[in-house]
Amino acid sequence: MKSTIGKRRYRINPETLQLEHIEHGFRYWLRRSGGYIIGGVCLGIIFFYVFLYFFPSPREASLMQQNRNLTAQMNVIEAQVDQMQIVLSDLSQRDDNLYRAILGAEPIPLSARRGATQEISYYDSIARMTNTQLAADIQRKVDILEKELYVQACSYDEILELAKNQETKMENIPAIQPVLNKDLKRMASGYGWRVDPVYHIRRFHEGMDFSAPVGTDIYATGNGTVTFAGWRQGYGQTVEIDHGFGYATLYAHCHKLFARPGKKVKRGDVIALVGNTGKSTGPHVHYEVHYNGKPVDPRNYYFYDLSPEEYDIMVQLAGNMGNMMD
């Protein structure tokens, strides 16, 4: 049996039944101190990890705040990129459906606008970096946006050049009748299937015939360069003009030629006189308009010469003319 009096410890000796003072050796005190030390160390470790988990260091707190600020900034940038993408998409639609359509240019394919994007592995490598998938998403959007902006800038440069050329194009395109014909009484035959005056069979008439006295002025119907002036089988004395932009005109059965190959002419210049040469049944000029190497209906190219009302009359007259003069 043990008891404690003050700070000293005692025990009853079973043989003598007397209290004896307990003397502790070094090992006792070592075990007792070791227990306290180990307990203190364990408690310290627990408090250390609790503090580490719930209470970041000043450096960590600063880094965490910087990370929150960076994330907020990236979210703002992503929203701005999305807004720019909407604006650019609207510009692209206007470019294809309005500006390029007016100027006769082909729309730019979507594949050409966006181009070849980076490989998936490139964005995966960004996603594996310290700051999440958000960086990869923004990088991908910026790459696409940069490509589209470049293509759009090039497109506007092209449109500007087309607009500059449009004035030249309008000056060159055939736009008047080859002879003075204000009362529309000089039109003898229209474009299309007609009866040949010599062989009396139906044949496709690739131009329009304008009857007029021999010596009547024949005008260039648009600016261009004379590519041929001379005799052509069946057409007689003939002038051909290249107007550029895919357009060319032909004036046949002339009496006298003023134009020479290589000569630059302007709309309204007198290039020849009406005659009756070649396969012709009377004085007239046979007039053709060609676009990209194929004959087209000349009556669609008198917009500088005819009012809408006069054009309607021209269409009606051209449809009623069943014979041709060549």
Average pLDDT in the 284-299 region? 93
Of residues 173 and 93, more confidently modeled? 173
Q: Is the pTM of this model over 0.75?
A: no
Closest CA to 210 of 276, 266, 279, 278: 276
Closest CA to 298 of 182, 169, 177, 186: 177
Q: Can you tell me whether residue 308 is helix, strand or coil?
A: helix
For residue 275, give the DSSP letter: B
134 pLDDT higher than 70: no
- Do 177 and 284 form a contact (C-beta atoms < 8 A)? no
**pLDDT at position 237:** 97
Residues in the chain: 326
Placement of tokens 């007039």 in the chain: 287
User: Per mean pLDDT, which of 16-20, 62-66, 74-78, 285-289 is the most reliable?
Assistant: 285-289
Name the residue type at position 274.
Answer: V
105 pLDDT higher than 60: yes
**Least confident stretch, 113-127, 245-259, 280-294:** 113-127
- Do 150 and 195 form a contact (C-beta atoms < 8 A)? no
Report how far residue 179's alpha carbon sits from residue 191's, in angstroms, rounded to the nearest whole number: 17
**Hey, what are 9's tokens?**
């410890």
**Hey, what are 20's tokens?**
């004896």
Placement of tokens 């604006």 in the chain: 87
Average pLDDT, the chain: 78
Maximum CA extent, the chain: 168
**pLDDT at position 227:** 97
pLDDT in tens, 145-166: 777 777 777 777 777 777 777 7
Report how far residue 92's alpha carbon sits from residue 148's, in angstroms, rounded to the nearest whole number: 9
259 pLDDT higher than 70: yes
The percent of residues in the chain predicted with pLDDT above 90, rounded, is 27
**Hey, what are 120's tokens?**
């998936």
Long-range contacts of 88-95 (CB under 8 A, 24+ apart): 88/145, 88/148, 88/149, 88/152, 91/152, 92/148, 92/152, 95/152, 95/155, 95/156, 95/159
The enclosing H or E element of 167 equals helix 132-172
pLDDT in tens, 200-213: 677 788 899 999 99
Q: With bands split at pLDDT 50, 70 and 90, how would you rate the model's confidence at 240?
A: very high
Report how far residue 49's alpha carbon sits from residue 47's, in angstroms, rounded to the nearest whole number: 6
pLDDT in tens, 3-55: 455 556 666 666 666 666 666 666 766 676 777 778 777 887 887 777 667 66
Of residues 167 and 265, more confidently modeled? 265
- Do 22 and 11 form a contact (C-beta atoms < 8 A)? yes
How would you write 119-159 as a 3-class SS string? CHHHHHHHHCCCCHHHHHHHHHHHHHHHHHHHHHHHHHHHH
94 pLDDT higher than 70: no
311 pLDDT higher than 90: no
**Least confident stretch, 73-82, 113-122, 263-272:** 113-122
**pLDDT at position 144:** 76
122 pLDDT higher than 60: no
User: Per mean pLDDT, which of 29-38, 53-62, 128-137, 280-289 is the most reliable?
Assistant: 280-289
Residues 6+ apart with CB under 8 A from 13: 19, 20
Report how far residue 126's alpha carbon sits from residue 146's, in angstroms, rounded to the nearest whole number: 18
**pLDDT at position 88:** 73
